[in-house]
Amino acid sequence: MPTLEQRVEDLNRKFGFRENPEDFNFELNPERIAYKNEALRKKDRNLYAGYLADNYPKQMEKELQDFDTRANKIRYISKDEAEQLFEQNKINLLKSDLHFSDADAIFQLKKVDPSDLNWHLEGHETDLLNGNSRPYEAVDGKEGIWIEG
């Protein structure tokens, strides 16, 4: 697993957010997404609060409320547990903060109309952040995944 610093450096190479900060608003900033992912998985509110204080003080209060709401819902489950959960709840789409193949990605479980599934998945293989995937893609080659819910 990459460290947070390694992940941020890798994302910067791909997106260039340090060189072109004006191209990345709060919602789309890859560095913020990486910090939030790390803080949620490790339940380290101070890590994210410090990042927000330094970079997004205006959004800090609202964003920490969101963090607090989500932090207790994040859990790591085995591949078998995930597959059972998907089947029992008829989950056919996952939304992740990082690329769906990343072992640290946090997934939100979704049910969409089967006729809309292809629309939701269009181009998903190349979505490095905030992308969608099929459940089986998310667990492929992993022992488990991080889910919210």
Q: What is the pLDDT of residues 118-142, one digit of tens each?
A: 999 998 898 999 999 999 999 999 9
User: Could you tell me which of 133, 138, 81, 140 has the C-alpha nearest to residue 112?
Assistant: 133
Structure tokens at 17: 């957010």
Nearest 5°: CA angle at 77, between 46 and 127? 75
Q: What is the pLDDT of residues 77-100, one digit of tens each?
A: 999 999 999 999 999 999 999 999
DSSP string, 50-97: HHHHHH-GGGHHHHHHHHHHHHTTEEEEEHHHHHHHHHHTT--EEEEE
**93-98 sheet: strands from edge to edge:** 74-78, 144-148, 106-110, 93-98, 129-133
Indicate if the pLDDT at residue 149 is higher than 90: no
Rounded to an integer, what distance in angstroms lies between the CA atom of residue 13 and that of residue 26? 19
Average pLDDT of the chain to the nearest whole number: 96
| pLDDT interval class at 64 (50, 70, 90) | very high
